[in-house]
Amino acid sequence: MTDRAPQPIWRFMLPWAELDVFTRDDAPEALQPTAAALARVEDRFCPALLRLHRGGECAFVAVWPTNRPQLQLLTTKAEPTTQDMQDVVLAEIHSLTCRACEERFRVVYPDLGIPFFGSHLAAHRLINECPVCGNDFTTSRIQALALLPPP
């Protein structure tokens, strides 16, 4: 630990909150578990902290759709515009158990209850089946933006 607080690489302002996006290598304490869980997935999954103006902060994963030019910008410090955040979904890391084969997974699971971000899921491809037994969502209840390696 250094005495320097990690700085967000992107800060996106909303009327009711701000979203700080961090790199996995330089994330604050509250995002360390998220950053560690994301270590082996694509760069479009970033640890992010949503700070509510009425108080409180929540750890999320900010997820960009594949093949977006904005992803290159993520290496540069910036104040993103609404356009830059178009189609970004906020997600949480959850444990899911397949209802068919009972295999357990850690997944990046979209949180659709968040204003602005909650309506962006259509731009993303969801995993809708269990990778172990192959049963679809209806049977397995496995749905995710990404499957994470076990801890």
For the CB of residue 98, give the shortest distance to Zn ion in the complex, in Å: 3
Does 101 contact Zn ion by CB under 5 A?
A: yes
Contact 135, 128 (CB under 8 A): no
Contact 49, 30 (CB under 8 A): yes
Does 100 contact Zn ion by CB under 5 A?
A: yes
Does 36 contact Zn ion by CB under 5 A?
A: no
- The one-letter amino acid at 82: T
Q: Which is nearer to Zn ion, 114 or 144 (CB)?
A: 144
Does 130 contact Zn ion by CB under 5 A?
A: yes
Please pick, from the candidates 58, 71, 133, 147, the single residue that binds Zn ion as defined by CB under 5 A.
133
Name residue, tokens 């604050």.
28
Does 98 contact Zn ion by CB under 5 A?
A: yes
Does 132 contact Zn ion by CB under 5 A?
A: yes
Q: How many CA atoms lie within 13 A of 138 on its CB side?
A: 0
For the CB of residue 112, give the shortest distance to Zn ion in the complex, in Å: 24
Helix (H/G/I), strand (E/B), else coil: 110: strand
Does 144 contact Zn ion by CB under 5 A?
A: no
The window from 1-9, 27-35, 105-113, 126-134 that contacts Zn ion (CB under 5 A) reads 126-134
**Dihedral sign, CA of 124, 113, 76, 38?**
negative
Does 71 contact Zn ion by CB under 5 A?
A: no
Contact 46, 20 (CB under 8 A): no
Residues 55 and 12: their CA atoms lie apart, in Å, by 17
**Residues near Zn ion (CB under 5 A):** 98, 100-101, 103, 130, 132-133, 140
